[in-house]
Structures are given as C-alpha cells and as structure tokens.
Chains A and B, each alone.
Chain A
C-alpha cells in the first residue's frame, strides 16, 4: 500500500472518530437546551454533564488532529481550502471557541445561565452545518482558481440542493447519534426517567436521518456523476450501513441491548462514511487535488506514519483508561463517585 493511501485512511479514521464523539457532544448540547425549554432539564442535564465534563477536551483534539494531518499529508489542501475557506473557517473557529469555553464557564465556574445554555445548544447545530461545508466543497464546482487567486463561489454554494442536503444530513445525524448514545448511557445509569426521554428522541430522529441520507445520495448524483457512479460500484457497503441502521432501530424499539444498538449506529455511520470516502478517491478536492499529486514528500509521509503508530501506542491505552473511569464505571455513571 502506498503511503498516500495509508495517510488518507488514517485521516479518515480520525475524521470518523470526530464524527462520532463530536456528534454525541453537539447533540447533547442541543438536547440539554431543548430539555430546558420544555422544562425537563432536571431529568437529563445531570446525566449529560457527568459524561461530557471529563471528555470535551478530547473531542476537540480529534478535530485538530484531522486538520493538522490533512495539511501535513497533503499540503496543497492548505493552499486551496485555506484560501477559499477563510470566512466559513473563521466562523467555525469562533463557534467552536464559544462552545468550548462556555462549556467550561458554565460547568465549573458559574451559576446556570440561559444565555450559555442557548449558545451551547445553538452551536451544537451550527458547527456541524458549517464544518460539513468543507465536505461539500470537496466535490468540486464551488472553488475556482483564476490568475493564481483561489475563491469560493458563494452563490453556487448557497443555491445548490446538494450543499443543503449535506447540511440537513449533518444536523439530523448528529441528533440521532447523540440520542442513541444518551439512551445507552441512561440505561447504564439505571436512570429510567432520562432513559424514557432520550429513547423517544432516538426513535424520533431515526426517520429524518435515513431520509436525509437518501436525498443527499440523489443530490450528489446530480452534482458529481463520477463520484456517484463510484458509489454505485460500492453499493454493498451502503447496504451494510442500512442494515445496521435497521438493527439499531429494532433494538431501541424493543427497548433492550442499548449498548449493541449504539454500536450498530457506529457501524451504520462507519460503512456510510468509508463508502463515501473510498468512492471520493483519488480526489481530495475535485479536480484540483488528488492524493497522489497533492501528497507531501515521501520522507515526510513516512515520518508522519511512524509518529502516528507510536502515538497510537500511547493514546489507545490512555483512552481505554479514560473510558474505564468515566464510561464503564457503573458507580461513576450512576453518580455515586
């Protein structure tokens, strides 16, 4: 396997990791605010903050890892995306900054405040929407280079059915993933009240998630034929994704094996995400950057991979330790520690 393929696979795994952990975080923010508005906050907010407090910083690192990695392995992406994304990228940074710091302010530093809760909930939906723009752009047609100046075609972006369906998909998936995770977490904590509530959320958001996946698929077919036909060749991967979705939904519906249900949701997104990624290749930005022409020098690429493997030896045991203490320690989850 060439180092370019290893590089993009590693990065894709991390983006997938971010997709899952960030969805839990972003969705939780929205549900926390929604519960407050509907006066049910006493039921689930304790649960949410017990999980999120020790891990929110880790969530953030997944994202940093991805964008440092992509400009490292594929420096050309810094040139095209960097120039084109100045405005949406800066807005995403500001939203992330508001979210991260306000979370700390709210949870460790001050009394409950409606403004914080609102910002926390709103950024939970706006950040996935703004970050998904980068994926939309990668399909091509929205970035142009003229006389050595790269710019973003805002009009095309805002009038494209494809870009809107991606935004919609991003938001509803976040809510679905988060709700299934919280269902699992509430079941672990033996918190029947919270469980009833978040299970309802999970069942509710399942429908828009599968609809949005379909519309995005169709809109992509209109926007980028090459990518669409590559995806068709990988039809079985997407079939697996739908299969795991059905399993997850069935488990949540019968109200048992919530842990398995969450794993099925993870697999559902795993197959969809990797099917999407694999069929996108060899382009990183259609048609400007391919993984072969845009890759960094081999020596750097190999050094990055070596560091990556060494890093994993450090990270995986630490992450397992973290999960043991805060996710699988029944006493902690129940609020006894």
Chain B
C-alpha cells in the first residue's frame, strides 16, 4: 500500500479535532451567558426555580468545559505539529491574537473556578452573580480573538512581503482584517442561539416525558425566547457575511451558490444536485435573490466562478453545507416564533406534543448547523491556507506519522464523546430536579408538581 499522504492526513486530523472541539467551544461561549441570565432572573424575582436552573446548567457545564479545555489545548498544539511551515510564516502575524486568546481564556478559567465553587459563600446573592460576568466576557473574548485568526487566513492583511517572507508587519491591522467584523458577529450570535436551542431541547424533552413541573415550563419559556432573539441576530449576521463574501471572497459565495457565470440579477439556488456536466438540476430558483443577498439590490452584478482559475476554485459540494446551515437557521427562527405565538394565545396550549417534538429538534439541528457552517467556511477557501499567499499543500508537515496520529486521536475523541454523554445522563438522572428543589427550598415545593 502506498504511504498515506501527510497533507491529506493533516487536513483530516485538523478537521477531526476542530469538528469535535467546536461542539464544546460553542457550549463554552454560550452556556455562561444562559446561566448568568437565569441566575439574574432568579435573584431579581426571588424565584428558586431559576436559581436551580442556573445551578443545574452550571453543573453540566463543568463536564463540557473540561472537554473544551483539553481539545482546545490539542488544536493549539496541533497547529504547530501539523502545519509547521504555516506557523513558521504566519506565526509572525497571528501570534498576537493567539496570545490574546490565551489571556482571555486564562481570565475565564480563573473566574469559572471561582464561580463554580462559591455558590453559597457570599452574603449578597448579587456578588456571586457578578462573578459570572468575567466568565461571559472571557469566553466571548476568546471566541473573538480566535475568530480574528481565522478571518486573517481568509483575508490576509496587515503586512508587506519582501524577498524572504514578510518585510513589515502590523499585527493590529492583521487582526482587524476585512473578514473580522462579520465573522465575529456570526460566530458569537450562532453560539448563543445554539446553546439556547440546546437548553430548550432539554426542557422540551423533559416536558415530553410528562414531567410537567413549573421548573421545566419556565426553563422552556426562557430558552425558547432566547433562541428566537439570537436566531434573528444570527440571520442578520449571516446576511452581513454574504455581503462580505460578495465583496472580498466572491469565489466562496459563487461555489456555495453554483453561480458559474458573472451576471446581473443572479438567482439564489436552493438544494438540488449537479449533473455530469456540472449543471444544477432539481433546484428551487429564487430570481434575483442572490444579487440581493450579495449587494442588497435585486439587479446587481454577482461575480461567477468562471472568473477564477480552475486550481483556485473551492469544491462545489460546499453548496450543500451552505444550504443546510441556512435552512436550519430558518427552522430555529420559525419554530421558536411559533412557540411564542401559541403561548400568547390563551386558548392554545404551548405544551402540546407536536410543538414540543419540534422544539426538541432545535438543539441537535443547531449544533449540526454550526458544523455545516464551519465546513462551508473552511472548505470554501480551499486550496488556500492563507488566501492568495500559501496553499494547504505548502503548509503541512512532512512527517510520515500523521496517519497513525489520526487513529489515536479518533480513539481519544470517541472515548471523550461517549463518556461525556454517559456522565451527563448519570449526573442528572441520579439527582432529579424535584428532589433537589425540595432539599434546597423546602417551603416552595408543595404543590409544584401538577
């Protein structure tokens, strides 16, 4: 058998690690915000249900954050281990945001430890709540900084090149490259919507299993409302991203939309497949909408894929990733809106089975959308690792052992993933919320379980 290609294996291993890490990274960014909101409402309304919600979310969060930390460490090291040539060059520029990301993470780690271990240590309940703010800020900032690195790889700026590599470098300009604002907005809003949706899934699932307590109803109302708000923000961020792509990375947008020829009034293509002559078939065409998405004008000109040399085009299958991501985003907004409308009308029951089933779907789908979105974003800049400067082939390690490492890491992530699910289930099953509420707040529990 021929030797496994280190470039291909490096790509696969990076995809594996990142694909696994972003699940926990997304939770790490979003969950602290949700915990903080719940604790705040709980303190303000003096409602033990919300306080218990915050506590239980925090307890589960510890497990996911641990996996987030260790997989984050893994990808941090793998950048140098798998892409040494890339880091030797780009390290000069991206080390600043990487460094800042570590600081933000440090800040978050310190206060997360404090927050988790001081629930009943302060006289005023707001003191403990305040400790959640640095956790949210640290988590959010580390997402911001690491996203600027990814943005830089898409639109490298802030340097001039000379005979041997970089001649001058302005690391601040590199961080504030054209891709940064839209990417940061989209990453943060989509993390928040995904986590809200996942917590809504848990609440809806509990209600479906006939646990009709006030606790779960309040959890559902809070999380679905947040899902709706963040879904709208994410849609806005997505629109900004499309306009950014049209201007700065037209080949990515063109490949996503199978838009081959440059034309005015370009159609948006939904779903479908490519036949043998690379012609889209079985598609839904929305006339002029791609032009609108790209430039906010139904008749504007959109650059087609044919403008780019063949070896610089991204793969055409990213269209499916793009469609799936957008479709799920729409689904989240629609279902959460439906719940809100039904709950406003007195005669209707927002806890009916069919609606709950739809709500249960939101969390897993949202996480899938995160994966699809990142695959789209990353595959969409192929063949470049630094768009316009360095290809993926030039960046990879020359070590022949990457294949073996891939197998080792696959094993590691499988074990971590399985254990995470097993332990979270055991954790919450062994201590049902009713029991815990009764133990902690004996006064309010009477008559809560209707």
Contact = CB atoms under 8 A, between A and B. Distances in A.
Interface of A: 53-55, 57-58, 60-61, 63-65, 67-69, 71-73, 75-76, 78-83, 85-87, 89-94, 96-98, 100-101, 103-105, 108-110, 148-151, 296-297, 299-300, 303-304, 307-308, 311, 314-315, 318-319, 321-322, 325-326, 337
Given A71-B87, A322-B113, A322-B114, A61 B76 contact: no
Given A72-B96, A105-B63, A97 B74 contact: yes
B103 A314 contact: yes
B236 interface: no
A94 B89 CA distance: 27
B409 A63 contact: no
A54 to B, nearest CB: 4
B262 interface: no
Given A110-B426, A325-B118, A304 B89 contact: no
Contacts of A87: 399, 401, 404-405
Interface string B393-433: 00001110110110011001000100100011011000000
Contacts of B112: 57
Interface residues of B, number: 72
Contact of A90 (B62, B81, B114): B81
B93 to A, nearest CB: 7
A303 B70 CA distance: 28
B121 A337 contact: yes
A77 to B, nearest CB: 8
A108 B62 contact: yes
B208 to A, nearest CB: 25
A97 B70 contact: yes
Contacts of A92: 77
Contacts of B88: 75-76, 78-79
B317 interface: no
Contacts of B102: 61, 64-65, 68
B289 interface: no
A286 B146 CA distance: 32
A307 B409 contact: no
20 contacts: A57-B112, A65-B102, A65-B106, A67-B80, A75-B91, A79-B87, A82-B84, A82-B87, A83-B398, A100-B66, A104-B67, A105-B63, A109-B423, A297-B169, A300-B96, A304-B95, A304-B99, A311-B106, A314-B103, A322-B110
Contacts of A80: 84
A300 B109 contact: no
Given A93-B74, A307-B96, A60 B109 contact: yes
Interface of B: 59, 62-63, 65-67, 69-74, 76-85, 87-89, 91-93, 95-96, 98-103, 105-107, 109-114, 116-118, 121, 134, 166, 168-172, 397-399, 401-402, 404-405, 408-409, 412, 416, 419, 423-424, 426-427
B401 A68 contact: no
Contacts of B169: 297, 299-300
A101 B59 CA distance: 14
Nearest to B72: A64
Contact of A73 (B63, B95, B111): B95
